[in-house]
Amino acid sequence: MAEPHLVDTPTGAASLPVPDAVRAAIRARADEHTAPLVEALLRSSLVLTGGSAALEGPAAGRLGGLPPLPAGTDWPEFAGLPMQLLAQLDCAGLAEAFRTTGHGGVWPLPASGLLLFFHDDRVSDYTGGGCRVLHVPGDAPPRPAPASGTGDPVVPAVAVRARWELSAPSYQDQELENLFPDDFLVALDLASDFRDHLPRPDVRVLGWCDTDTGRPAGHRPLLQVENRALAADWGETVNISFWITDEDLAAGRFDRVRHGFEVA
């Protein structure tokens, strides 16, 4: 059997072996020149699981709950209303999950503190600006939500654990489509193969986007959450995603993160 190929994210994050079934699917669809290029697109990602599904991996924070906002930091708002806290991720726990892979690499997110992901839960912003990501120390007391006439922006907290999994592009990702300029159906078939052989979790950090959300040009997914992962009412919206450029990710700049969403 061939030596497993280790996949790196462009930021040098953890490396994971490509499953034999995925490699076989790529070789069946692509020629000798293109197959290695497809394989090189595969990315490592962190899968977060909570509740009864959280059976393995380091503790990595939680979805929902109340944020430990430092003194002097306001609860983020959009259009004059408080945003919903979607996730508060423990950077040390995520980094520990990264180290347990044993494949080395450079951890692309902060090594300590919390990353707080807020979004416009009314999903009323179609420009991608209705979100905010804050990196905080995590030692402040939980901040009660501001009063709002449109309902409670807080959702019940769900503790999550993290483990590394491989992720693959979809037919909507230009990087895959560009490899088959003469036959888009090959990219479509490969995306279907990837769905058959790789997990599609409810919550993923980094990697590729699993859903039909809009993809901001020049950005990669930072966090994606399906609505079934927590007790939140987003109307017809079935998932939320947060996006960042490679440059901002490498520099730790989270103030320019954008959001996307998919409607059923």
Q: What is the pLDDT of residues 122-150, one digit of tens each?
A: 877 777 788 999 999 999 999 998 877 66
**Structural domain tally of the chain?**
1
Whether residue 164 has pLDDT greater than 70 = yes
* pTM, two decimal places: 0.89
**Confidence label for 38 from pLDDT (cuts 50, 70 and 90):** very high
Cα(138)–Cα(130) distance, rounded to whole angstroms? Answer: 23
pLDDT at 151: 63
Tell me: the pLDDT tens digits for 197-207?
A: 998 899 999 99
Mean of the pLDDT values across residues 32-55?
84
Structure tokens at 222: 């930072």
Query: In the chain, which residue ranges form alpha helices assigned H by DSSP?
Result: 20-29, 34-41, 91-99, 174-177, 184-197, 246-251
What residue numbers bound the domain in which 14 lies? 6-263
User: Which strand ranges, in their side-by-side order, compose the sheet holding 258-263?
Assistant: 131-136, 114-119, 84-90, 59-63, 158-167, 43-50, 203-206, 220-226, 237-244, 258-263
What whole-number distance in Å separates Cα of residue 5 and Cα of residue 155?
41
Q: Is 36 helix (H, G, I), strand (E, B) or coil?
A: helix
Q: Does some domain include residue 81?
A: yes
> What's the CATH code of the domain at 115?
2.30.320.10
Average confidence (pLDDT) over 28-37: 93
Q: Determine, yes or no, domain membership for 80.
A: yes
Q: Is residue 1 included in any domain, yes or no?
A: no
Residue that wins the pLDDT comparison between 237 and 117: 117
Question: Phi/psi at 206 (nearest 5 deg)?
Answer: 65, -160
% of the chain with per-residue pLDDT over 70? 88
Q: What is the CA radius of gyration of the chain?
A: 19
Mean pLDDT of 212-236: 86
Mean pLDDT (the chain, rounded): 85
Least confident window among 3-12, 86-95, 107-116, 153-162: 3-12
In a domain, 144, yes or no: yes
**What is the rounded average pLDDT of the residues 202-218?**
87
More confident position, 91 or 213: 91
30 domain-assigned: yes
